[in-house]
Amino acid sequence: MSQLKAVLQQKIEEQRPRTQRLLKEFGNVVIDQVTIEQAIRGARDVRCLVTDISYLDPFEGIRFRGKTIPETFEALPKAPGGEYPTVEAFWYFLLTGEVPTQEQVDEVIAEWKERRVVPEYVYDVIRALPKDTHPMTMLSAGVLAMQRESKFARYYNSGEFNKNRAWEYMYEDASDLVARIPMIAAFIYRYKFKDDVHIPPDRDLDMGANFAHMMGVPKPYDDVSRMYFILHSDHESGNVSAHTGHLVASALSDAYYAYSAALNGLAGPLHGLANQEVLRWIMEFQAKLGEGVEPTRENVTKALWDTLNAGQVIPGYGHGVLRKTDPRYTAQREFCLKHMPDDPLFKLVSMIYEVAPGVLMEHGKAKNPWPNVDAQSGVIQWHYGVREWDFYTVLFGVGRALGVMANITWDRALGYPIERPKSVTTAMLEEWAAAG
Per-residue interface string for the shown chain with ligand CMX, residues 162-191, x marking contact by CB under 6 A: ------------------------------
Among 147, 210, 239, 332, binds ligand CMX (CB under 6 A): 239
Q: How far is the CB of 366 from ligand CMX (least distance, A)?
A: 3
Residue nearest to ligand CMX (CB): 318
67 binding ligand CMX? (CB under 6 A): no
Among 17, 288, 367, 428, binds ligand CMX (CB under 6 A): 367
378 binding ligand CMX? (CB under 6 A): no
Per-residue interface string for the shown chain with ligand CMX, residues 252-291, x marking contact by CB under 6 A: ------------------xxx-x-----------------
99 and 76 Cβ atoms separated by less than 8 Å: yes
The values of phi and psi at residue 34, to 5°, are -120, 130
User: Per CB under 6 A, which region of 254-262, 284-292, 295-303, 311-319 contacts ligand CMX?
Assistant: 311-319
317 binding ligand CMX? (CB under 6 A): yes
Per-residue interface string for the shown chain with ligand CMX, residues 186-225, x marking contact by CB under 6 A: ----------------------------------------
Crossing angle (nearest 10°) for helices 207-215 and 221-231: 120
Select which of 223, 271, 383, 411 is catalytic.
271
DSSP 161-176: --GGGHHHHHHHHHHH
393 binding ligand CMX? (CB under 6 A): no
Q: How far is the CB of 60 from ligand CMX (least distance, A)?
A: 17
Query: Taking every pair of C-alpha atoms in the chain, what is the biggest distance, in angstroms?
Result: 69
Taking the least distance from each CB to ligand CMX, the nearer of 239 and 381 is 239
314 binding ligand CMX? (CB under 6 A): yes
Select which of 173, 254, 374, 411 is catalytic.
374
- Cβ neighbour number for residue 114 with a 10 Å cutoff: 9
Q: How many CA atoms lie within 13 A of 217 on its CB side?
A: 23
Q: Which long-range contacts (CB under 8 A, 24 or more apart) does 339-343 make?
A: 339/220, 340/380, 340/383, 343/379, 343/383
374 binding ligand CMX? (CB under 6 A): yes
DSSP 81-137: T-SSB-HHHHHHHHHHSSPPPHHHHHHHHHHHHHHTPPPHHHHHHHHHS-TTS-HHH
374 an active-site residue?
A: yes
User: Per CB under 6 A, which region of 242-250, 290-298, 362-370, 383-391 contacts ligand CMX?
Assistant: 362-370
Q: How far is the CB of 305 from ligand CMX (least distance, A)?
A: 11
319 binding ligand CMX? (CB under 6 A): yes
Q: How far is the CB of 133 from ligand CMX (least distance, A)?
A: 22
Residue 85, strand partner residues: 78
Positive or negative torsion for Cα 61, 64, 67, 72: negative
CA proximity to 177, closest of 256, 69, 267, 73: 256
Which H or E run contains 56? strand 54-57
Give dist(CA 179, CA 159) in Å, integer: 28
Residues making contact with ligand CMX (CB under 6 A): 44, 239, 270-272, 274, 308, 313-320, 365-368, 372-374
Tell me which residues are annotated as active site.
271, 319, 374
